[in-house]
Structure 1
């Protein structure tokens, strides 16, 4: 495993949401401190062509008034050719309206939903299990409280349900990570409050890993073996070959940013710090990490992009060696 590429440019965003569909990565919205960000403008979509490593700004095939407003702290899941975006906020309001982006027609729609719609929130997590989009946690500005509720939306009939669970649920939190593997959801990290669920500005951080069994509607405290990652929020998590990886994040109590990689074995319930060759990204939070093929694409938090290659080819390793050692490139073939 090796960090094989560091590419400047791309969307300079934080707390954005992203998915991969076919050979493209779609990044939705996110906050930036430049004049580019305006609360009520249409949410921007940036598309990465994984073959060329080039970003482009997507142009919609519809009026701006039919497009969701700019936001951050939202979630997105891919289901077929469509992306379902939920939650998030701008500097004025939060949103609980479901939006659907069709990657074939490049148009947004607002599916009619029924059932127990969650309160508007940001900093929640979303992951896909079968045909269900599960939403957990987040911060509700309507109640000024952190959440520990679990909802799912059936993406076939568009019905929301608040899940009545068994077991010990994770504490109220936001900006945790969640990944879905087979019939289970794995929740790690996040920020809570000493006077949970209320927001008293006294942050707490939990290093425990929680598992939700969607067949039994039951929470499980994992208590993994091995060395655990430090507690953090605003990190990223992804799956590869039966392992969950996490990168980066921030702990507000110690005022520490991270750029470490940790690996959790789902089969063995075991954590370990995972050394990676190459030049690591700078310490950061609020980025996105999206797996495509044997590569993980990391972007956001700053304006650059890094690629973590789980199976670098001999050609890739040779190119890295040329760059690392500042060798003459004029004699190389044009396609390298």
Structure 2
């Protein structure tokens, strides 16, 4: 396992949603510090060709929103994306004015947006929730509902063949033992289970007046058994990670991995990576070789084959400030990222040799043309291009 590439010049995005279809990664929306997040502009779509490591901006990003607001999602953050066949479904999220409960579909063959009509018990608009696929259904959990001004309580299911929403009636093995309400957690599906980790909860020290709310971060791992719709608290061992929010989670070879995140109680960002093995219920902290990402939160982390593509997010950065009594001091600000890191679980001999060529500054002129091209892709910073309408990533 090794970080094999880190490139600047991609989309500078925080709280975006991304998924892979074939060898391409589609990244939807998000925000960047300094942008106007109150305007209703159409959601931008960036596409990464994971073979060439090159980013392009999809033409649908520039469609006028108000002329197409019945089929186009407005730009947002805190939303989710799932893949079903060759279509990507976007749900939830918000800008700085409103949240959204409309389902949108991006067709990766015809390169267009639609807004499929749904029926049933449609969940309230929210952000900071999660969505994962099991069979032909998208399961929504958690997040913060603007209308109720509270964390969401129910699990919802959308059958993507019938376009019907339903509330999932879950049970627990032990009375009172179920996941606490939260947002900016992660869920992943492994076989017939949805695993839940992290997120931000709230407690009220003064129970009678509901004042003095404090954030909480649990590191309890849960899973929802899709066969019985029963919640289970995992009795885990090993290197148990600290509770956090806005981290990433992904599945590789039927194991769950988490990266990064933030804990406001500890005021700590992370760039650690953990592996959870559901067969043994054991956590393990990983030490990946190579230059890895800085501490960050709200990044995307997408597996394609044996590689993981991590991009975007935000990190603390110190800058000087002038204090009235103490002269120059340092203060933390958040810096948004436009970088991308590639983690290879099974680097080939060719990949390791390419890394050695650059590391030891060996003569590249004698190498075959295809190897020179691979070296250029792995080490040349990105420059986002506008794609042709009939080809989303070349």
Same fold (TM over 0.5): yes
- Change in Cα spacing, 1:34 to 1:258, as seen in structure 2 (3 Å) is same
User: Which residue of 1 is the match for residue 273 of structure 2?
Assistant: 261
The aligned counterpart of 1:293 is 305
Equivalent in the alignment of 1:9: 9
Q: CA deviation at 1:19?
A: 0.7
Aligned residues: 336
CA–CA distance in structure 2, aligned partners of residues 188 and 7 of structure 1: 29
- The 2-side partners of 1:37 and 1:147 are apart by 24
2:357 to 322, 325, 336: 322
Partner of 2:331: none
Q: Which has the larger radius of gyration?
A: 2
Instruction: Show structure 1 runs of 4+ deviating over 6 A.
Output: 196-199
Structure 1 residue 333: Cα displacement: 3.7
Cα distance in 2 for residues equivalent to 1:300 and 1:38: 21
Decide whether the 8 Å contact of 2:78 with 2:93 is kept in 1.
yes
Secondary structure of 2:127's counterpart equals coil
- Please tell me whether the aligned partners of residues 21 and 86 of structure 2 are also in contact (alpha carbons under 8 angstroms): yes
Show the counterpart of 1:187. Answer: 196
The equivalent residue for 1:22 is 22
Separation in 1, partners of 2:212, 2:165: 30
Which residue of structure 1 aligns with residue 49 of structure 2?
49
Q: 5+ unaligned residues in a row in structure 2: which ranges?
A: 314-336, 372-394
Q: Quick check: 1:105 aligned with 2:117? A: no
Q: Which runs of 5+ in 1 are unaligned?
A: none
Larger relative CO (CA 8 A, sep 6+): 1 or 2?
2
Compute the TM-score of the two structures, normalised by the length of structure 1.
0.95
Question: Could you tell me which of 282, 300, 303 is aligned with 2:338?
Answer: 303
Residues 200, 293 of structure 1: CA spacing in aligned structure 2 closer, same or farther, 3 A cutoff? Answer: farther
In the alignment, the residues of structure 2 paired with residue 37 and residue 23 of structure 1 have an alpha-carbon distance, to the nearest angstrom, of 31
Contact 2:11 2:338 in 1 (8 A): yes
User: Which of residues 299, 312, 321 is equivalent to 2:347?
Assistant: 312
- 1:38 and 1:314, CA in 2 relative to 1: closer, same or farther beyond 3 A? farther
Q: Residue deviations 1:74-131, cap 9 Å, x none?
A: 0010000101100000000000111111111111111111111111100000000000
Structure 2: distance between partners of 1:81 and 1:182: 21
Inter-partner Cα distance in structure 1 for 2:290 and 2:143: 34
Aligned mates of 1:246, 1:187 — CA distance in 2: 11
Deviation at 1:328, TM superposition (A): 4.7
- CA separation in 2, counterparts of 1:79 and 1:295? 21
Segment of structure 1 superposing worse, 321-330 or 9-18: 321-330
> Following TM superposition, by how much is the alpha carbon of 1:147 offset from its aligned partner in structure 2, in angstroms?
2.1
Q: CA-atom RMSD, angstroms?
A: 1.9
Question: TM-score when scaled to structure 2?
Answer: 0.82
